[in-house]
Amino acid sequence: MKFSIEKQDLQSNIQHLYNIVPSKNTMPILTNYLIEADEQKNLLKFTATDLEITVIVEFDANISESGKVAVSARNLNEIINSLPDSMVHFLIEEENLKINCEHSKFNLLCAENSQFPLIPQKDLSKVIELDAEMFKKMIDNTHFAVSSEINRPIFTGIFWNIAADQQFMVATDGKKIAEFKLINQVDIPEAVEQIIPTKGLLFLDKVISVDIPKISVLLESNRVMFSYGNYTIFTHIIEGRFPDYTKAIPLNNNNILIINKIKLRDAVKRVSLLASEDTFKVKFDVTNEKFMISSTKREEGEANEDLDDFKYNGEPIIIAFNYRYLNSILNVIESENIEIKMGKSNEPALFFNTEQNDKYSARFLLMPLRLI
C-alpha cells in the first residue's frame, strides 16, 4: 500500500472518526483504524468500529498501490494532528506503516488486519432520502433526554418513527421527555419505528452540515445504515418495545406561563449558583402578579430573583425543577419566548416554543422535584 495526501485534507476527513474508537479495550483490534487504499478508484477508506457502531469515511488520495492495514487509531490521530500543513506519504513496508511528512518520519507497527470485524457492504439501492438539516434538528431536540441507565436499555437510545407524511423522534429518562415531530414526504410504504443508540446519531449530528442537504437511510430489521457525504454509518438498533409515553403527557395543564427565554435562562443560571448539589433544585413561585425563582443550599446560603415582563394565566403555583434538566430544555427552545404549561406542583410540566412552525413542532415534559 502506498499513497499520499495533504495533511489538512486527511485531517478534516477523519477528525470525527476517533469518537467511535472504543476507549476500553475489550477487543484490542478495535482500537485500530482499518485503512484500505484502492488504486483503481483512487479512493482511500478509513473504518472505525466499536461493534455497535461502524463508521466508514471514503475520500480521494493519490494512491499508487492498493492495500489494507490496521493501525493504532490513537497513534495515527496524534501523528496527523501534529504534522505541518504539507503532503503526507504513507507506505507499508514489512508489516510497518511508514508515515513521512517533510522531515518527520514515523514507523508504526500494524495490527493483524484480518482480525478486524467484517464491515457490512454499503447498499444504496433501497435507501430513503431525508432532509439532513431537519434530521439534525430532530437529534438536537431529543438526544439530551436519553437515559444513561444500562439496565433499561430501550431508554438509552432515541425512538424514531418514520412514515410517509411525518416522522418523529422521542427520548426519555423517566424524568423528562423530549419529542420532535416533522412533516415530510418520504418514499416509504409503511411506517417504521426503531430505537437507535445515541452514539451513532450524535456522530451524524456532528458531521451534518449545510453543504450536503440530503442524508440516505436504509432501515433493516437488525440495523440501520446512514449514508451522508463521505460517511457511511452502520448502527445496531436497540431491541424492545418503546412504551406509550404519550399517556404520560398531561392534556389539562391550565397554568400557563410565557416569558422571554433568555431572561429566564439567565435568571435560572444565577439562582442555581446556590442550588443544592444533591437535587439541583430551583423553585418557581408564580402568581398573576409575580414570578420568583429561588434556591437554597444548606449551610451555604440562598438566592432568589424576581422576574418581570411575563404573562401568567392560572392558579398561584409553587413548583421545583432540577435546573440542569430545565437548562437542557431551555437550550433547545428556538423562539424568543417560552411557554410553560403547569398542572399541580407534583405533576409534569410541559414546555413549548411560542412561535409555531408549519414544518415541525417540539414539546418537552419535565417532572418536578418534590417540594419539602
Partner 1 sequence: MKTDRKIIHVDMDAFFAAVEIRDNPQYKGKPLIVGGKPNSRGVVSTCSYEARKYGIHSAMPSYQAYKLCPHGIFVKPDFDAIKEASQIVRKIFFEYTDLVEPVSIDEAYLDVTENKKNITIATEIANKIKMKIFEETRLTASAGVSYNKFLAKIASEMDKPDGLVVIPPTKAQEILEKLPIGDFYGIGNVSEKKMIYLGIRSGKDLKERSLTELIKHFGKAGTFYYNIVRGKDNRPIITHRIRKSLGCERTFAKDISDVKEMLDVLEKISQKISSKMKENKFKAKTLTVKIKYANFDLVSRSKTLAEAFDKKDILFHLGRKLLLETLGPECKIRLLGLSVSNLVREGDKINDQQMLDFFSETELAMGDEEE
| Contact set with partner 1 (CB under 8 A) | 24-26, 28, 147-155, 172-175, 177, 240, 243-245, 247-248, 278-279, 281, 320, 322, 346, 348, 365, 367-370, 372
Closer Cβ to partner 1, 25 or 254, answer by number: 25
* Dist. CA 331–CA 57, nearest whole Å: 31
Closest CA to 301 of 261, 274, 340, 327: 274
Closer Cβ to partner 1, 183 or 248, answer by number: 248
Nearest approach, Cβ of 241 to partner 1 (angstroms)?
9
- Specify the pairing of strand 231-236 against strand 192-197: unpaired
Closer Cβ to partner 1, 251 or 372, answer by number: 372
Closer Cβ to partner 1, 3 or 280, answer by number: 280
Nearest approach, Cβ of 148 to partner 1 (angstroms)?
7
Closer Cβ to partner 1, 133 or 347, answer by number: 347
Closer Cβ to partner 1, 51 or 191, answer by number: 51
CA angle 134, 14, 65 (to 5 degrees): 130
Nearest approach, Cβ of 316 to partner 1 (angstroms)?
20
CA angle 317, 321, 324 (to 5 degrees): 155
Closer Cβ to partner 1, 224 or 238, answer by number: 238
Nearest approach, Cβ of 319 to partner 1 (angstroms)?
11
Closer Cβ to partner 1, 132 or 367, answer by number: 367
**Gyration radius of the chain over CA positions:** 25
β partners of residue 291? 286, 307
The grid cell for 57 is 469515511
Closer Cβ to partner 1, 87 or 317, answer by number: 317
Nearest approach, Cβ of 243 to partner 1 (angstroms)?
4
* Dist. CA 351–CA 330, nearest whole Å: 9
Phi, psi of 367 (to 5 degrees): -80, 135
Nearest approach, Cβ of 325 to partner 1 (angstroms)?
9
* Dist. CA 6–CA 193, nearest whole Å: 42
* Dist. CA 223–CA 220, nearest whole Å: 5
* Dist. CA 177–CA 228, nearest whole Å: 28
Nearest approach, Cβ of 343 to partner 1 (angstroms)?
12
Residue 296 CA: distances (Å) to CA of 80, 287, 292: 49, 21, 13
Nearest approach, Cβ of 206 to partner 1 (angstroms)?
25
**Residue 256 and residue 341 in contact, taking contact as beta carbons nearer than 8 Å:** yes
Nearest approach, Cβ of 30 to partner 1 (angstroms)?
12
Give the Cβ contact number of residue 322 at 10 Å.
21
Closer Cβ to partner 1, 218 or 319, answer by number: 319
Q: Is the dihedral of CA 309, 310, 315, 319 positive or negative?
A: negative
Nearest approach, Cβ of 115 to partner 1 (angstroms)?
12
Q: What letter would DSSP give residue 323?
A: H
Q: Is the dihedral of CA 74, 27, 122, 211 positive or negative?
A: negative
With left for phi above 0 and alpha for psi between -120 and 50, is residue 94 left, alpha or beta? left
